Amino acid sequence: MERALALFRNHGARVVIVPSAVHPAIDPFASEAARDRFHGAVNRLAESTRSGYLPGALDGFQAPSDQDFCDYGHMNAAGGEAYTRHLARRRSSLLGGE
């Protein structure tokens, strides 16, 4: 992943890492310590590749239906579209704008 992010950055792209949407019935982390380690690792990855990281990008996101998930960790096209619309609505606040 580090090489892929660096490749995008080296071609002039602005890269921002956002978390994947997971079904609201699950928590992908076994503990708060695991959550903290994950966020620390992604922060270090973002810094080393001169990328951004927005761990709060999912805040307020709710998939329209359970049908928008293929399984608990992957969304189908409709779910992906809903998440993309959510990110677009929040882009100013997520990226430090007004």
Distance CA 44, CA 46 (A): 5
Residue with tokens 């882009």: 91
Global pTM value: 0.78
Q: Beta strand 69-71 with 74-75: parallel, antiparallel or unpaired?
A: antiparallel
- Tens-binned pLDDT, residue by residue, of the chain (98 aa): 889 998 998 899 988 899 988 888 888 899 999 999 999 999 999 999 888 898 988 888 988 888 899 898 899 999 999 999 998 888 766 666 54
**Alpha-helical regions (H) of 1-98:** 2-10, 32-48, 77-94
